[in-house]
Each structure stands twice: as C-alpha cells, then as structure tokens.
Structure 1
Amino acid sequence: MKAMIIEDSRLARQELKELLLAHPHISLCAEAENPRDAYVIIQRENPELLFLDINMPGKNGFELLQELSYDPKVIFITAYADQAIHSFNFNTVDYLLKPVSPERLQKALDKLKADTAVNEAEEIQPALEFHSQVMLRDGDKCYWVRLQDIHYFESCGNYTRVFWANEKVTLFRALGKIELRLPETHFFRANRQQIVNITEVVNVEPWVNGGYQLQLRSGMVLEISRRHATRFRELFSL
C-alpha cells in the first residue's frame, strides 16, 4: 500500500520509517514536515495511507485532511490523547500515541489489513440501478427508499448521512464505500464530503477558485470543489 509520513519531528519520522521496515507491504512514497508541503505532495502522489501527526507548524493534521478532495486512510501518530474523538471524523484506521512501539504499530496495520479486506469484498458488489429500492438502516429503524429520491450523501468520517424528501439517516458506512455502488450517470462526487444526485440540481453557478455552486430542488446549496469541477464540465457540458 502506498503511504506517506507527515510529521514535523525529523527524529519521529526516522523512527517510524525504521519500524515500517518490518512491514514491506507498506510502500513509503514520500514524507513531509508540515501540512503545506504535504498537500502539494499528496496532490501529486495520491497516497492511499497517511501516517499523520496532528499538531504541526501552520495548519494541523485535521485541517490538512479537510483540504483534500479524497479520503485516504489515516493512522494518526501524536503525543496528545485528547484529540482521539475528533480523529474519527475522518477515514481513521487507528490513533497511536508517541512513542510508537512495534507491537502497537502491528495492531494498527492489522486493523488496516482487515479494513482493506472488507473494502475489496464490497468492491465486487454490483452497482445499483438508479430506480433501485434500497434499505437504509439507522439504529433500530429501517427505511425503504428509491435511490432516485435521495438528494445527496454527506460524509461524517466513518459514517454517512443520507438526505431525501424531509428525511435523513446516518449510516455506519464510509462515503467511499457507498460511492462504489452508486450509478455514475446520476450521482456525482461534488467534493470530499458530498455526493449529489444530479437530477435534483436545478441551478449551477460559477463559484470561488474555479468551482461551482449547485442549488437543489430542496433549496439546499452544495459546492463542487475546484478539483472535481473539471470532471463536472467534461460530463455535463455541451
């Protein structure tokens, strides 16, 4: 798996690299000492996994993740235990406290392996048809909904909120996993956090940094990020 280390301590980066020598299936493509440099490298390399410190000069690790247009898997490595809850708003595999022991890293990579196996199994599921009925389970409640009636999906870390009519539910499934089953002809990844049903869009306006702003029938307004704007034009411009 293609990975990257983002950590402001040179010593901590070196220690982690030495620990990872025992795990040849993790292929380090780069390292960075601050979020600014890391963002440029991530845009170029698209690593699947980030070993990410939280408190760094300039932006912190959470702010870096919010800027990305995709959801890499993340193993947080930090000296602070009190930020663990916030970390699970992202595609978090594990949260490790410094100094990292070989045993604790092994457990984190075991979690990664198990999660990857589940993802691979889900990838072979057939894509849904736009007119399919889907069951949405939220706690002890189940909803039987037509896929075409869903307005948009919104990521909340390892959970996803689904909006339709005047209803919404929270599913215990990451947005990326749901995206694999959606028909690409009708559902578009507008930004890192949202997938929109294109048939619900009633107006499109140019927006900041080369993106677009979408207005839905419900009155909800979503933004297409600059990175996704190019594909939006390719798919929907004459």
Structure 2
Amino acid sequence: MRVLLVDDERLARAELRRLLAAHPVMEIVGEAVSAADAVTQIAALRPDLLLLDVQMPGGSGFDLLASLDNVPDVIFTTAFDRFALQAFEVNALDYLQKPIQPARMAAALARAAQRRQAAAAVAAAGAAAMPAAPTEPPAPHKIFIKDGERCWFVALHDIRLFESEGNYTRVYFDGQQPLMLRTLTQLEEKLDPQRFFRASRRHIVNLDCVRSVAPNDAGGLDLVLQGGPAVEVSRRRAAQFKLLSSL
C-alpha cells in the first residue's frame, strides 16, 4: 500500500517512518507538513492510505479531508484524545494516540490491508460481470463531508440524492442530510454520469436508488427514491433519463 504521512512535526514524521519500517508492504510515497501541502501531494502521488495528524497549522486533518474529491483510507494520529470520538464518527480505519505503540500501529495497518483487499475483490467481481471497460482504482470511491462538528466518510453508491442549496449541496444517505461546501456543478463534474443523473437544476439522483417512475402533468417524470424524497425530472431531461435507464 502507498502511504502518505501528514504531520507538521518533523520528529513525529520520523517516528511514523520508524514504525512503518516493520511493515515492508507499506510504501511511504511522501510526507506533507500541512493540509495545503497534503492536497497537492495527494493529487500527485495518489496514496492508498493517509497517516493523518488532526491539528496542523493552516487547517485541521478534517479540513483537509473535506477539501478532497476522492478520499483515501485514513488512520488518524494525534496527541489529543478529545478528537477520538469525532474521528470514529467519520469511519476512520483507526485513531492512534501519540506516542503510538507498535502493536496499535500493526493492528491499524492490518485493517487497512483487509479493507483494500475486500475492495479489490468487489471491483474484480464487478469487472468480471461487465464488458471490458477502462480500468478503475480498486478502492471504492467515497467522499468526506464535514457539516459543523459532525463528519462522515460516505461511499458514493450509498448516496441517493444531491440537492443544490446555493453554494452548498445537501447530501442524502442512510437517514442523514448534511450540507457540504460544494456546488452541484462542482460535484457533477466528478460523478459517474452512468450512475448519477442530473434530473434538474437542483438535483442529481443515483439511478440505482430510483424505485419508481411516473409521468407528470408537465410532460416530465416524477422519480421516487428509496428512502425519499421524490424528484421531478424536467421534460427536456426526461428523454435522457429514459435512455440511461432503458425505459
């Protein structure tokens, strides 16, 4: 696995290198000293795993994750135990409090390897069932959402609806409806158009979550999503929806 170390303290990064030396399957591809530095290196290096400090100058580890379009797996490393609950709420692989014990690091890395192997198996099974297509990363695509003090890692296939609210977008998944600081247009550019359909100026729907379709009086369509809400498709976009969904 390709690992990026993100910590503003040189000695902390050196200690992480020492701990990872006992795990040769973990390849350290770089180090970042701030959230901004990490954003650049993640885009260039495409690591599988972040060892991420929570508190850093210029932005926290949570701020970093909220700025990413596609989030690698994360193991938090910090000296402050008061961040532990928030870290686990975002479904991090683990939360390691400094000074980090070798056994705790080993357990966290094992979980990272297991998650990656499981994701690779799912991707391989999907590829075997589909016609030849461009190769995609084995890890599942997911986004990080930070709304106030609450945070989530969310797999894109679990999101049924994106709804525009100005410069923000409300995200519907698993009974949650947090806001994220991205416009609908910014999100649309990153989403798979074969799975996510721009139903209207305000809505992008996950086609896998559409449970029923009915024509409406305006010449468009009304979609009912699993778990709600209902979404109206304009007349102009209805033909495109029928083509995508083979109606």
Whether these two folds match at TM > 0.5 is yes
Q: Partner residue of 1:19?
A: 19
The separation in 2 between residues aligned to 1:51 and 1:90, in whole angstroms, is 15
The separation in 2 between residues aligned to 1:59 and 1:191, in whole angstroms, is 25
The separation in 2 between residues aligned to 1:63 and 1:104, in whole angstroms, is 25
The separation in 2 between residues aligned to 1:43 and 1:57, in whole angstroms, is 20
The separation in 2 between residues aligned to 1:93 and 1:85, in whole angstroms, is 13
Q: Partner residue of 1:86?
A: 86
Choose which of 174, 188, 199 in structure 2 pairs with 1:190.
188
Dislocated runs of 4+, deviation >6 Å: none
Q: Partner residue of 1:202?
A: 200
- 2:161 matches 1:157: no
- Does the aligned pair in 2 maintain the 1:154–1:161 contact within 8 Å? no
- Opposite residue 109 of structure 2, the aligned amino acid is L
- 2:33 matches 1:33: yes
Choose which of 167, 170, 175 in structure 1 pairs with 2:174.
170
The separation in 2 between residues aligned to 1:169 and 1:33, in whole angstroms, is 33
Q: Partner residue of 1:107?
A: 107
The separation in 1 between residues aligned to 2:189 and 2:14, in whole angstroms, is 34
The separation in 1 between residues aligned to 2:48 and 2:119, in whole angstroms, is 13
- 200 and 191 in structure 1: CA distance in 2 versus 1, 3 angstrom threshold: closer
- Ranges in structure 1 where 5+ consecutive residues have no aligned partner: 130-152, 172-188, 204-213, 221-238
**Sequence identity (%):** 31
Structure number with the higher strand fraction is 1
Q: Partner residue of 1:183?
A: none
Instruction: Choose 1 or 2 for highest CA Rg.
Output: 2
- The alignment's TM-score, normalised by the length of structure 1, stands at 0.60
- Does the aligned pair in 2 maintain the 1:6–1:50 contact within 8 Å? yes
- Ranges in structure 2 where 5+ consecutive residues have no aligned partner: 131-141, 145-151, 163-171, 176-186, 205-221, 223-230, 234-247
Tell me the SS of whatever aligns to 1:202. coil
Q: Partner residue of 2:65?
A: 65
Q: Partner residue of 2:2?
A: 2
